[in-house]
Amino acid sequence: MLIFEEEGGRQIDFDLRGGEEEVLARLDPPAPSARRLGPGRPRLGVVAREVTLLPRHWEWLAAQPGGASTTLRKLVEAARKTDAGKTDADARKAAADNFMRATLGDRPGYEEAARALYAGDRARFFDLTQPWPADLRDHARKLAQGAFV
């Protein structure tokens, strides 16, 4: 039996050893810690992480109004706006291909369908996936929604 993550199309492995309660306990995420985990403003969704830049980059950031953090947030937001969905389309392609490779990788037409997927050729992708088993084909197509921009 194969189990896949819905969003990323990645195969998931479960540890099914033990009784039902033990298995279910391993599935639950750990409870969030009440103590402060580090710098940042977690209540606002702000998370502190390390960024490695060249000295000239730090100098430029320091000279910007609002400081380095504000400038970096503005740069990231501007880049997200100009992305025009490309990052999401790439993620959808990868999700569909992860699923297809695991379930249909040995089927005739897989490689050609994967090429059509990455080339953004929706019509060819649908034509090449038509002969596949309906449940697998339909799920691959569902994962590929948004990949063709």
Quick: pLDDT tens for 64-97: 998 888 899 899 888 888 776 678 889 999 999 9
- Same-domain status, 116 and 72: no
Confidence of residue 33 (pLDDT cuts 50, 70, 90): low
131 φ/ψ angles, rounded to the nearest 5 degrees: -75, -10
Return the structure tokens found at 27.
């599935």
Q: Which residue is associated with the tokens 């002969």?
A: 131
Residue 139 lies in a domain: yes
Q: What is the pLDDT of residues 101-115, one digit of tens each?
A: 999 999 999 999 999
- Same-domain status, 77 and 93: no
3-class state of residue 11 by DSSP: strand
- Same-domain status, 75 and 91: no
- Same-domain status, 110 and 125: yes
Which domain-ending residue is among 62, 82, 102? 82
46 φ/ψ angles, rounded to the nearest 5 degrees: -90, 130
Cβ–Cβ contacts within 10 Å for residue 112, how many?
A: 14
d(CA 105, CA 67): 50
- Same-domain status, 57 and 94: no
Return the structure tokens found at 12.
């998931």
Give the global pTM.
0.62
d(CA 147, CA 87): 10
- Same-domain status, 78 and 123: no
Residue 110 lies in a domain: yes
Q: Which residue is associated with the tokens 């540890």?
A: 15
Q: Give the domain extent around 113.
A: 86-144
- Same-domain status, 57 and 71: yes
What lies within 8 Å, CB to CB, of 82 at 6+ separation is none
Residue 7 lies in a domain: no
CA-angle at 79, arms to 74 and 80, nearest 5°: 100
- Same-domain status, 104 and 118: yes
- Same-domain status, 71 and 115: no
pLDDT of residue 24: 85
pLDDT of residue 39: 56
Q: How many structural domains compose the chain?
A: 2
pLDDT of residue 42: 65
Q: Which residue is associated with the tokens 């000279």?
A: 63
